Structure 1
């Protein structure tokens, strides 16, 4: 069963990012950081991740977007500040459509949440440093066995699942 770890907006945290990576190291196929790490692109803790730059990242070697395939899902990752994500998901949706992505991972708003819109799964893992909307500092995982049964789980920075934020969706409808 493919599984992906998604985090964002860690704003300079190193030990916390490392702890989250280690916590899930044996169970995930990929790790995504949706920007605003505020760390150099080549720092050890960021190695092995799909990553993008955010509006607070000063290392200009980060790409603004990243798209790739894991298993049978096509991912599009961006921070979101260039797509007005605090107001609407429409520009992000259009860009994902151009790239053929069915999972969109982004940050910027620091608001944890996942939703299925027009057979595209939007995931904002929240922030492990400065959450908004809830008290808990969060990150997320996405796992699926079949496209008809994809699940997003949110965790506190301490690794505790937040069941009220869990979302299970059917991504096979658009096939």
Structure 2
């Protein structure tokens, strides 16, 4: 059964790679009530949840698998404000090479929104009727980007996403 989230502010982050200090301060300032974690250093998500005193839904990334991290799955489906959200890291669909494989997986799971990581590059775009979101990385950004994360704001039960730089 899918989780049904109705928090007003949901952070989206991942690829933290054991560097979360600036992220904690930023998320506390945002008034985040819950967060989604796209993998790579899942133990960071557990620690952030304790420090922020909020719950989270997270998935394992390729670095988690290499470290032997267990306790979470590679993918999750959740509902946020009436949208079916497919959460994963993305390495298993080779997202660094493009979104074609991930797009077809999104169709298989009937996702309205796909949230993924792995590339360390923020991304927000729509392919046909599926929205693809990648929060980038707060600690190891690539391609000249600054550290980033996203916040889903549901003040009016709508799916509004904003990108924030650290």
| Residues 13 and 37 in structure 1, CA contact (< 8 A), matched pair in contact too | no
**Offset, 1:40:** 6.4
**Offset, 1:118:** 1.0
Q: Select which of 94, 107, 131 maps to 1:84.
A: 94
Report the TM-score, using the length of structure 2 for normalisation.
0.80
**Offset, 1:110:** 0.5
* Aligned Cα root-mean-square deviation (Å): 2.2
| Residues 150 and 164 in structure 2, CA contact (< 8 A), matched pair in contact too | yes
Q: Select which of 15, 25, 31 maps to 1:19.
A: 25
**Offset, 1:97:** 1.7
Higher relative contact order, structure no. (Cα contacts within 8 Å, ≥ 6 residues apart): 2
Report the TM-score, using the length of structure 1 for normalisation.
0.76
- Name the CA shift for 1:38/1:121 in 2 (closer, same or farther; >3 Å): same
Q: Select which of 4, 10, 25 maps to 1:4.
A: 10
Any stretches of 5+ residues in structure 2 without a counterpart? 1-6
Alignment of 1:1-175 (within 5 A): 2-25=8-31, 28-37=32-41, 39=43, 43-46=46-49, 48-57=55-64, 58=67, 59-143=69-153, 145=156, 150-157=159-166
**Offset, 1:29:** 5.0
**Offset, 1:153:** 1.5
Any stretches of 5+ residues in structure 1 without a counterpart? 158-175
- Name the CA shift for 1:122/1:46 in 2 (closer, same or farther; >3 Å): same
